[in-house]
Chain A
Amino acid sequence: MNEEAQITEGTPETGTQEESVPKKEEQEEKAEKRPAVRVRIRRGGAAGDPEERFDAFQVETGPRMTVLDALVAVQSAQEPTLSFRYSCRVGMCGTCALKVNGRPAWACRTRLEGLGDEITLEPLTNFPVLSDLAVDMSPFFEKMKRARGWLEPTGAAEKAPALIAPNSRERKRIEPHIECITCGICYASCSIVGHDSDYLGPAALNRAYTLVNDSRDALGPERLLEVCTEDGAWRCHSQYNCTESCPKGISPTGAIKGLKRRAVSGGVRRFAASIFRGRAPGA
Chain B
Amino acid sequence: MTSVKDPVTNKPPVWKISAWRSMYPGMWSWVLQRLSALALIVLFPIHVMNPYIDSVRITMLLLVVWHAMHGIKVILTDFGFPDRHQRKLLWVLCVVGVAAFFWLAFMHKEYWRFMA
A106 smallest CB distance to B (angstroms): 15
- Select from chain B the residue with minimum beta-carbon distance to A200: B4
* Choice from B3, B22, B83 contacting A99 with Cβ under 8 Å: B22
Are A243 and B83 also in contact (CB < 8 A) when A99-B22, A238-B26 are? yes
Task: Name the interface residues of A119-148: CB closer than 8 Å to any CB of B.
Answer: 122-129, 135, 139, 142-143, 146
Contact in complex: B6, A189 (CB < 8 Å): no
> DSSP majority for the B interface?
loop
Are A126 and B11 also in contact (CB < 8 A) when A146-B2, A251-B83 are? yes
A50 smallest CB distance to B (angstroms): 14
Most A CB within 10 A of own CB, among B1, B3, B83: B83
Contact in complex: B6, A102 (CB < 8 Å): no
Task: Name the interface residues of B38-80: CB closer than 8 Å to any CB of A.
Answer: 74, 77-80
Give CA–CA (A194, B79) in the complex, Å: 27
Interface residue? B23 (CB, 8 A):
yes
Contact in complex: A123, B10 (CB < 8 Å): yes
Most A CB within 10 A of own CB, among B5, B11, B12, B86: B11
Chain B contact patch, size range: 20 to 34
- Select from chain A the residue with minimum beta-carbon distance to B11: A194
Give CA–CA (A41, B5) in the complex, Å: 27
Interface residue? A103 (CB, 8 A):
yes
Interface residue? B106 (CB, 8 A):
no
Q: Mark A219-239, 1 if CB is under 8 A from B, else 0.
A: 000000010000000000111
Interface residue? A244 (CB, 8 A):
yes
Contact in complex: B10, A127 (CB < 8 Å): yes
Contact in complex: B26, A240 (CB < 8 Å): yes
Interface residue? A247 (CB, 8 A):
no
| B26 / chain A contacts, CB cutoff of 8 Å | 238-241, 243-244
Give CA–CA (A83, B84) in the complex, Å: 36
Contact in complex: B10, A129 (CB < 8 Å): yes
Are A261 and B24 also in contact (CB < 8 A) when A139-B4, A146-B2 are? no
Q: Mark A100-126, 1 if CB is under 8 A from B, else 0.
A: 011110000000000000000011111
> DSSP majority for the A interface?
mixed
- Select from chain B the residue with minimum beta-carbon distance to A254: B83
Interface residue? A213 (CB, 8 A):
no
| A142 / chain B contacts, CB cutoff of 8 Å | 2, 4
Give CA–CA (A135, B9) in the complex, Å: 9
Are A103 and B22 also in contact (CB < 8 A) when A126-B9, A127-B10, A194-B9 are? yes
B36 smallest CB distance to A (angstroms): 15
Contact in complex: A243, B9 (CB < 8 Å): no
Are A238 and B11 also in contact (CB < 8 A) when A102-B18, A243-B86, A245-B24 are? no
Interface residue? B8 (CB, 8 A):
yes
Top-5 shortest CB links A-B = A240-B26, A102-B21, A244-B24, A254-B83, A251-B83
B residues in contact (CB < 8 Å) with A: 1-12, 18, 21-27, 30, 74, 77-80, 82-84, 86-87
Q: A103-B21, A243-B26 are in contact. List 16 more A-B contacts (CB 8 A).
A: A46-B8, A47-B9, A47-B10, A122-B18, A126-B9, A127-B6, A128-B6, A139-B9, A146-B1, A237-B30, A238-B26, A238-B74, A241-B22, A244-B26, A253-B77, A257-B78
